[in-house]
Amino acid sequence: MDKKELVFKVLLESDKPLRPGDIAEKASLSKEEVDKAIKELKNEGKIESPKRCFYQAKK
């Protein structure tokens, strides 16, 4: 599983929006890796940001 898929999986399993630092902790990745994955997932339309600096998978 690549880093982007791992970030997306963490967001899918979460019942609330998460901050990049929380995602990094749950996925055992660096914050920089998570930031890059978030950017790619947002461009693909798979995740959204309900409030500043929080992310969740689109339902």
Question: What's the average model confidence in pLDDT over 2-20?
Answer: 97
Question: What's the average model confidence in pLDDT over 12-36?
Answer: 98
Domain positions in the chain are 3-57
The CATH class of the 3-57 domain is mainly alpha
Question: What's the average model confidence in pLDDT over 19-48?
Answer: 98
Q: What is the pTM of this model?
A: 0.92
Do 37 and 24 meet the contact criterion of CB atoms below 8 Å apart?
no
Whether 1 has a pLDDT exceeding 90, the answer reads no
Whether 22 has a pLDDT exceeding 80, the answer reads yes
Angle made by CA atoms 7, 9, 12, in degrees to the nearest 5: 110
Tokens at residue 32, please? 């920089």
